[in-house]
Amino acid sequence: METLGIDIGGTGIKGAPVDTVTGALLAPRVRILTPEQGKPKPVAKVVEEIAAQFKWQGPIGCGFPSVVQNGVVYSAANIHKSWIGLDADKLFEEITGLPVHVINDADAAGLAEITFGAGRGERGLVMIITIGTGLGSALFINGQLVPNTELGHIEIKGKDAEVNASEAARIRQKMSWKRWSNRFNTYLQTLERLFWPDLFILGGGGAKEFARFKDSLQVRARVVPAQMGNEAGIVGAAMAAHLKT
């Protein structure tokens, strides 16, 4: 089935129609800068614009950087606080005039990765960590998603993990790969003590440099880079919308 997938990020909003059976994009993706401050209505207008560029008339799936339950936004670590308590499904549907399903962005990327990427066929407990502006997480047990884990916000030494171990933190604090990888390793070790996963899959922009830091990771679980790249959030969002219909 063809579904429009949209990945809403802090700096950019990107989308493309997706074949949810194969995970392939059916057209080159469109990317538009996220409106300054990222308030609800301007973001919804960008979603409408992307749909219009593809002349889209079917269902839309949106990956969103927040805890999302039944379409309602419940957290705002990297988005405007006015999203909290808002029914994002309803807002996007009112603006676009189309059926829309919103899902946590890391969960969306995880759905793509577990279905078509590095997690395909994996059993047991798999954790997908996205390394970017923050640290996103998706947790799967025998291929089934446990939604909204948001494990980038666990506290390590009194701070959200993503404050010290995200890609944005590495750039902001001008850390060497060695220094950053030690912090990220501490983060993975903390997750391992809590969940004992069989496999970590690392995605997001920071994971593109996996070769630079893989030897610094000292955990029992296997650690591999994601395979779906920048398309993961788009594909997974489309899959989530397709599964809802």
For 136-156, the pLDDT digits (tens) are 999 999 999 999 999 999 999
How confident is residue 221, by pLDDT bands cut at 50, 70 and 90?
very high
d(CA 37, CA 78): 10
Alpha-carbon Rg for the chain, nearest whole angstrom, is: 17
d(CA 1, CA 130): 27
pLDDT of residue 11: 84
How confident is residue 133, by pLDDT bands cut at 50, 70 and 90?
confident
Range 39-65 average pLDDT = 97
Which residues sit opposite 24 in a β-bridge? 19
d(CA 218, CA 106): 23
pLDDT of residue 244: 82
pLDDT, tens only, 159-213: 999 999 999 999 999 999 999 999 999 999 999 999 999 999 999 989 999 999 9
Q: What is the pTM of this model?
A: 0.94
Closest CA to 129 of 73, 185, 90, 88: 185
28 Cβ neighbours under 8 A, 6+ residues apart: 16
